[in-house]
Structure 1
Amino acid sequence: MHSTQSLRPVLPILIGAAVMLTLSFGMRQSFGLFMPSLTSDIAVSITDFTLAIAMQNLVWGICQPFAGMFADRWGYRPVMVAGAFSYVIGMILMATAEGTIAVLLGAGICVGIAMACASFAMAMALTARLVPPAIRSTALGIMSAVGSAGIMFIAPIGQYLEASFDWRIGFLGFVVVALLIVPAAWIAGRVDKEVPLVPAADTADSLSAGAAARVAFRHPPFVMMALAYFVCGMQLVFITTHLPSYLVICGLDPMLGASAIGIIGGFNILGSLFFGWAGQRWSKQGLLGLIYIARSFTLAVYFILPPTATTTIIFAAVMGFFWLGVSPLVAGSVVEMFGLRWQAMIQGFAFFSHQIGSFFGAFGGGWLFDKLGSYDLALQLGVGIGITAGVCQILFAFYYPPHRPKLA
């Protein structure tokens, strides 16, 4: 494909992938809205709820490389559709939950599997395969932006249903949303027959899964990127899980949490587009470091200031701009280093580090709050680790620019 005109035949596939990503990620980002009501209504503590979110992130991270391998072996369609049905089951379990086990199974295991099979990694891998290299980074930014738009309308819908009825009705609404992922994943799965992969020379495309994994873990730029990715998961999941609860504790309007998450989604569109464009022109590794540092300073400033509706909206806008700009940068870096065939698998290895960070952001934040009665220490750790990782990422990009590794 040499021009944007050649994208027309694959637009339905790209649209299906974007809708799948929009719905799956939008719901997942909105679970924290239900935490105050759910934990006060049934025998589930804040620690239990955040443990479920933490488990979700670990399951997602563990399953992501396997989902990539299965997609190469069996095709993207069966993997993505199976993930969609796992999401439906998870939301049914949440809507009918009476205790911790159902929450762990629903929000933890089922949604974790669903996110690995029918969310970011798969949508980004499809996009990278379908567009030419000249516009790949920009296209990945567009996919991240369009896919992230779901949080703008799903979070307010969930908050409205919870406020007007109760949290169970909110999750029943999410059951309906999850059912819509199934046809989107089916349409995106047309990539299996309509766009076969042609292995590229001097890439890991010709290697087996095991050999490609060994090459990745011996490549220092990839290892650095994967380790720094920990910060991304820790900061973002801490915010989506604990910001609504923090605002309620501070006596602010509970709807402000949904509004903040929606604003994050809106400005994330701008950020994803910008960083997709920027990654086509400047060092992807250096841009990643800048994002981690900018997020950390934004967190520090917001939580030092007294919380108000105005500061919360400004915080959400700034944080939203830096929210998922990492996605096109990481996905594009993996393709540049290793090629297309094993992108979902290799990106999944980096994403596992991201999800370990997510575990600590969700569960660690809740555990520290239960022990100390405040989020102060969790925030100090998040800011300090974020700045350290960002600086290391920039220095590493300067002294060790990425290149394709030796395959032998």
Structure 2
Amino acid sequence: MKPSPQHWWQQTWGLVLAGGLIMGIALGVRHVQGMFLLPIIMDRGWTRESFGFAMAVQNLTWGLAQPLTGMLADRFGSWKVMVGGMLLYAVGLITMTHATNVQTFVWTAGVCIGIAQSGTTFGVVYGALSRMVPPARRSWALGVAGAIGGIGQFLLVPAAQAMLSGLGWAGALVWFAIVALALLPMGLPFHDKQNSQSHDATADHPRLLPALREAFSHSGFWLLNLGFLACGFQLAFIANHLPAYLVDKGMPPRDGMVALAIIALSNVLGIYVFGLLGGRYPRKYTLSMIYLARSAAMALFVLLPLSAFSLYAFAAAMGLLWLGTVPLTNGIVSQIFGVRYLATLFGFVFFGHQLGSFLGVWLGGVVFESTHSYDLVWLCAMALGVIAAALHWPIDDRELVRATPGFAMR
């Protein structure tokens, strides 16, 4: 095993803090996008379908770009991808304020921000942490980094509400861009000299193309991809359409803000707990339980009379289950295939998540414009949760035994 990084900022706690802060701003801005839906479409004269399509393109772009940014991180170093992603995030947020037509908004909020998210979130950050943190502390590191990111999500909800009230939606986006630029140095601790100090990144691993063939021939890899689609659908639909859904039901906008804040705060505990559970119990069974619990929470929320209490209880339950799927899914990928090309392989799995996100955001707008109701989308989200639970249960999560040259056991 290689020695730990010598600089204090490259010790485990420094890496976890830096990764958590990067994910905090990247995921936090994404988390509050639903709060911008009504202000933007009212100012620009657009429809919910137009805004939803831009956010859907953002999620799909993120998914399509994730394997590429994962390859770049595995090949050239995670820190370069993180810094580049933060820069692109700031550019995308600023240019969103100058988009005066739907096409430009799709390119800025959709394509530009989507690419930026692929370099500043789970795929790259978790991949870097998994390589640079000792195996015994890996589950802990992923859980804590995710919890720090969740705190960032929580803090950005009241911050977004305050800036929307005081500065308008354009001013709020500019300030988010400034914060992203201020956090650029957080990528530097991941300067790992092309994994020369990374744990488990040895010459015994296959090269990239054989590793991809190995993964794509594994049934569990496809089951993870398909199951992750449900996760993306549920989260993207709720984050982007819940505030508008509540306004349609006669609740004040403040309740939507509070619900998103509760989700983000509960997520801090949820992602930390599930990160730890991933090191103690079979991850695939824990994932199945999460998806079933999500479907049950949504069913109760839709069927019970809507009130502030039922909304906040739903938000707390969903928050506990919000991003706990990510360290567990990432852990299964590393458990089966190792960590050498983890950013790349998780990038392909994450495409399923983002395809689901695209469908959740886009169909939310399309169905509402067609039926003036979100009921069909809620039903679809519940059904996908049950299907995902069934898909994860039979995954063969045993570590691969590589017997041929170039595919030696770790």
- Write out aligned runs for 1:77-92 (5 A): 77-92=79-94
- Write out aligned runs for 1:7-156 (5 A): 9-10=10-11, 11-156=13-158
| 1:119-168 residue CA offsets vs partner (Å, 9 max, x unmatched) | 11111112212222222122211111111211111121111111234212
Supply the distance in 1 between the matched residues of 2:42 and 2:403 (Cα, whole angstroms).
55
Relative to structure 1, is the Cα distance of residues 7 and 330 closer, same or farther in structure 2, using a 3 angstrom cutoff?
farther
Amino acid at match of 1:325: G
The CA deviation at 1:97 is 2.3
Structure 1: 5+ residue stretches without partners:
none
Relative to structure 1, is the Cα distance of residues 134 and 7 closer, same or farther in structure 2, using a 3 angstrom cutoff?
farther
1:402 matches 2:403:
no
Amino acid at match of 1:122: V
Relative to structure 1, is the Cα distance of residues 263 and 5 closer, same or farther in structure 2, using a 3 angstrom cutoff?
farther
Supply the distance in 2 between the matched residues of 1:205 and 1:248 (Cα, whole angstroms).
56
Supply the distance in 1 between the matched residues of 2:116 and 2:71 (Cα, whole angstroms).
15
Amino acid at match of 2:219: P
| Number of aligned residues | 402
Report if aligned partners of 2:287, 2:328 keep a CA contact under 8 Å in 1.
yes
Supply the distance in 1 between the matched residues of 2:30 and 2:133 (Cα, whole angstroms).
28
What's the TM-score once normalised by structure 1's chain length?
0.93
1:189 matches 2:190:
yes
| 1:27-53 residue CA offsets vs partner (Å, 9 max, x unmatched) | 111111010111111032211111111
Residue 162 of structure 1 aligns to a residue whose secondary structure is helix
| 1:347-394 residue CA offsets vs partner (Å, 9 max, x unmatched) | 011000111100111001111111111001111111012112212322
Supply the distance in 1 between the matched residues of 2:25 and 2:352 (Cα, whole angstroms).
24
Report if aligned partners of 1:337, 1:404 keep a CA contact under 8 Å in 2.
yes
Supply the distance in 2 between the matched residues of 1:34 and 1:69 (Cα, whole angstroms).
33
The CA deviation at 1:73 is 2.0
Residue 183 of structure 2 aligns to a residue whose secondary structure is helix
Match of 2:178 in 1: 176
Q: Which has the higher mean CA deviation after the structures are superposed, 118-127 or 316-325? A: 118-127
Supply the distance in 2 between the matched residues of 1:355 and 1:387 (Cα, whole angstroms).
18
Amino acid at match of 1:158: A
- Write out aligned runs for 1:154-303 (5 A): 154-185=156-187, 187-192=188-193, 196-197=197-198, 206-303=205-302
Match of 2:341 in 1: 342
| 1:82-128 residue CA offsets vs partner (Å, 9 max, x unmatched) | 11111011101222221212321221011111111111111111221
Structure 2: 5+ residue stretches without partners:
405-410
Report if aligned partners of 1:14, 1:188 keep a CA contact under 8 Å in 2.
no
Relative to structure 1, is the Cα distance of residues 32 and 207 closer, same or farther in structure 2, using a 3 angstrom cutoff?
same
Supply the distance in 1 between the matched residues of 2:3 and 2:201 (Cα, whole angstroms).
19
Residue 191 of structure 1 aligns to a residue whose secondary structure is coil
Report if aligned partners of 1:2, 1:132 keep a CA contact under 8 Å in 2.
no
Match of 2:313 in 1: 314
Supply the distance in 1 between the matched residues of 2:197 and 2:263 (Cα, whole angstroms).
36
Residue 374 of structure 1 aligns to a residue whose secondary structure is coil
Amino acid at match of 2:123: A
The CA deviation at 1:181 is 3.3
Report if aligned partners of 2:25, 2:152 keep a CA contact under 8 Å in 1.
yes
The CA deviation at 1:13 is 3.1
The CA deviation at 1:7 is 10
Relative to structure 1, is the Cα distance of residues 405 and 390 closer, same or farther in structure 2, using a 3 angstrom cutoff?
farther
Amino acid at match of 2:250: G
Report if aligned partners of 1:221, 1:402 keep a CA contact under 8 Å in 2.
no
Supply the distance in 2 between the matched residues of 1:103 and 1:125 (Cα, whole angstroms).
31
Supply the distance in 2 between the matched residues of 1:270 and 1:199 (Cα, whole angstroms).
29
Relative to structure 1, is the Cα distance of residues 7 and 36 closer, same or farther in structure 2, using a 3 angstrom cutoff?
same
* Percent of aligned pairs sharing the same letter: 35
Amino acid at match of 2:249: C
The CA deviation at 1:274 is 1.2
Relative to structure 1, is the Cα distance of residues 366 and 206 closer, same or farther in structure 2, using a 3 angstrom cutoff?
same
| 1:327-350 residue CA offsets vs partner (Å, 9 max, x unmatched) | 111111111111111000000110
Supply the distance in 2 between the matched residues of 1:215 and 1:26 (Cα, whole angstroms).
35
| 1:4-44 residue CA offsets vs partner (Å, 9 max, x unmatched) | 99996523333222111111110111111010111111032
Relative to structure 1, is the Cα distance of residues 212 and 169 closer, same or farther in structure 2, using a 3 angstrom cutoff?
same
Report if aligned partners of 2:131, 2:201 keep a CA contact under 8 Å in 1.
no
Report if aligned partners of 1:15, 1:188 keep a CA contact under 8 Å in 2.
no
Bigger helix share: 1
Supply the distance in 2 between the matched residues of 1:205 and 1:198 (Cα, whole angstroms).
13
Relative to structure 1, is the Cα distance of residues 326 and 405 closer, same or farther in structure 2, using a 3 angstrom cutoff?
farther
How large is the Cα RMSD of the aligned pairs?
2.2
The CA deviation at 1:64 is 0.7
Match of 2:408 in 1: none
Residue 44 of structure 1 aligns to a residue whose secondary structure is coil
